[in-house]
Amino acid sequence: MNFTIKELAGLITSSVIAFFVFGNIFSKAGYPRWYGLLMATPFLNVAVLFWFAYAAWPIENDLLDLRFRSGK
């Protein structure tokens, strides 16, 4: 495949923006920010998306633990 400089710059820019967006999403859920890189891997990104949607997030576990300790 031959990419022009303009196409390559667009690809790199969109990849960096996507990493920061997905990194922030993973970070807010309680996972490491570098998990955002997994979303750039073909086919693995679909598996990670399903795992992320149905897994118990660390932040949810912390909230349940705090609620249990407070007696509510």
Q: Are the C-beta atoms of residues 58 and 65 closer than 8 Å to each other?
A: no
Q: Could you count the other beta carbons within 10 Å of the beta carbon of residue 31? A: 17
Provide the token pair at 70: 């407070």
What pLDDT does 2 receive? 84
What is the rounded distance in angstroms from the CA atom of residue 46 to the CA atom of residue 63?
27
Q: Which amino acid is at 51?
A: W
Task: Specify the pLDDT at position 53.
Answer: 92
Per-residue pLDDT of the chain (72 residues; tens, 9 = 90+): 788 999 999 988 988 999 999 999 999 988 999 999 998 888 999 999 999 999 988 988 899 999 999 986
Single pTM value for the model: 0.75
For residue 17, the model assigns a pLDDT of 92
- How many CB atoms neighbour CB 18 within 10 A? 15
